[in-house]
Amino acid sequence: MYTMYAQGCSDAEVMVALARAGTVSLSRDLWLALQDRNPEFSAAVKKGHALAEAWWAAAGRDGIAMGKDFNATTYIFNMKNRFHHSRDRQDVDVTTKGKEMPAAQQTVNVVDRKVMRDVLEELNNEL
């Protein structure tokens, strides 16, 4: 397992390799359940992820040295999708789930609207 991760393999590739004879792969659910039930297995998978990430980081370093022949866009998307370190956007839940907004928040919104009106008025005066 470590050998595969050290070559940059994904969980999916390791699951196929570890599957019992006659099966195509371990299911994702079983893979996660095994990690939940067995702390040693979970630690091994985490170590494997670190090995795979190190392999991909080295591949990126080598790729950068290639210059224009290196496909940086593919590499970036691969790293984001494999290791989930960064996101291009943030999801912010601004709902109140049907509850009334707290008074302090209502006050801020009123102040924000007044400030925005003042800014827009200044802009209109300049035009």
Give yes or no for residue 121 having a pLDDT over 70: yes
- The residue assigned the tokens 């470590």 is 2
Sequence-separated (6 or more) residues with CB below 8 Å from residue 117: none
Under 8 Å between Cβ of 26 and 15: yes
pTM of this prediction exceeds 0.75:
no
Q: What is the pLDDT of residues 64-119, one digit of tens each?
A: 999 889 999 999 999 988 988 766 666 666 666 767 666 655 454 555 667 667 77
- Rounded Cα distance, 115 and 109, in Å: 10
